[in-house]
Chain A
Amino acid sequence: MSYIAIVITFVFINNFILTQFLGLCPFIGVSKNTESAIGMGFAVTFVMAIASVVTWLVYYYVLIPLGLTYLQTITFILVIASLVQLVEMIVQKISPPLYKALGIFLPLITTNCAVLGIALINVTNSYGLLESFVAGISAGLGFLLAIVLMANIRERLDLEDVPKPLQGVPVAFISGGLMALAFMAFDKALLTNLLG
């Protein structure tokens, strides 16, 4: 698959939140205001891009030569957990402003299924190293797009007169559903029309 096709697939067609349901907890939990949604989105994109590369290297240079592929779930989650910790420490050291913006979101990312999800999907699709990296960034950008749109919708919803039982989470889910409906316009046919 060409790189453009991977980008379009992971940002729009197989958007992690709206069609794959990976990373829903932060999507509902951190989408109350746009600023923190943007922070979370970028933090996830960052970690997903690095995690895709690192898990790829671990899978093809450690697990396969040793014949330990059945341990991939344990290995990946440990790699991701230590990676998140490492990224947190490095960012704190190198760029305090970036740490201030992303810092509080980083620990939450370990248990974000989107990160483990992309690592497993890269292996299932047997992507190469660069393809995995592109898939990781694109899936992260798709997450960013969905969570920022959602935060904007929810900020407006706060000003509306929502019926009491629907306030908060239920109306967020329903808006998410309507967004997913709109994203159904992006499908495989679009990809063939665009790239021939």
Chain B
Amino acid sequence: MLKEFTKGIFKENPIFVILLGLCPTLGVSTMVINALGMGAGVIFVLTFSNIFVALLKDFIPTKVRIPSYIVIIASFVTIVEMVMHAYMPSLFASLGVFVPLIVVNCIILGRAEGFANQNGVLVSILDALGMGIGFTLSLLLISLIREVLGSGTITLFAMGSFDGVIEIPLLFNAPMRIISLSAGALLVMGYLKAFFNWYSSRARG
């Protein structure tokens, strides 16, 4: 049971191992807060779509299963969109088109088709949480690297007197701008993937 949860975080990490959901990963990873917002959105949609697909798997005819999954996913994405728009307008604005695009995030349809439609509700929830957390952690790693090197800051939620922005002493005055631009996203992703390849081949001996 626990294995279904942890596999998404390491062994079958959606971003670095199975390479799914790349567009939002690179598109929103300029600030740490974007990664947190996107991750929360994906965990929510993934968990609920997995629950509903697991519940409805015996009622949905096989031929129309993909459109049905898409409707289920799109409904939860619309909920996320409305909640984010109402309570976190600045986050909604900076994620932009990537919020509605959670619908076509291949991780979610992939889990519905590849896992939830053959398994029970409880296991599907664990699977969704594991995959969602794996996605969020990878996204956090990429955006941490990009924001620290590219702008010399770490942006979190503003609370009380803390405005949410941590400045990194030396890098803040002379950041490597290129890392926060689009080219930097692709370069960081490439080198991280290479690092994980190297690490896993070493671990295997």
Contacts and interface: CB of A to CB of B under 8 A. Distances in A.
Interface in B74-109: 74-75, 77-78, 81-82, 97, 100-101, 103-106, 109
Interface string A172-183: 111011101100
Given A116-B101, A174-B190, A21 B81 contact: no
Contacts, number: 124
A23 B66 CA distance: 20
A64 B38 CA distance: 28
Nearest to A18: B182
A184 interface: yes
Contacts of A166: 190, 194, 197
A81 interface: yes
Contacts of B197: 164-166, 170
A69 B106 CA distance: 25
Contacts of A171: 190, 194
Given A73-B103, A116-B103, A170-B193, A19 B22 contact: no
Contact of A20 (B27, B77, B103, B181): B27
A169 interface: yes
B191 interface: yes
A21 to B, nearest CB: 4
A25 to B, nearest CB: 6
A81 B20 contact: no
B31 interface: no
A97 B85 CA distance: 47
A23 B81 CA distance: 21
Given A111-B104, A165-B194, A21 B185 contact: yes
Interface of A: 18-25, 28, 70-74, 77-78, 81-82, 110-113, 116-117, 120-121, 124, 164-166, 169-174, 176-178, 180-181, 184
Nearest 5 CB-CB pairings of A with B:
A173-B190, A177-B186, A165-B198, A177-B187, A174-B190
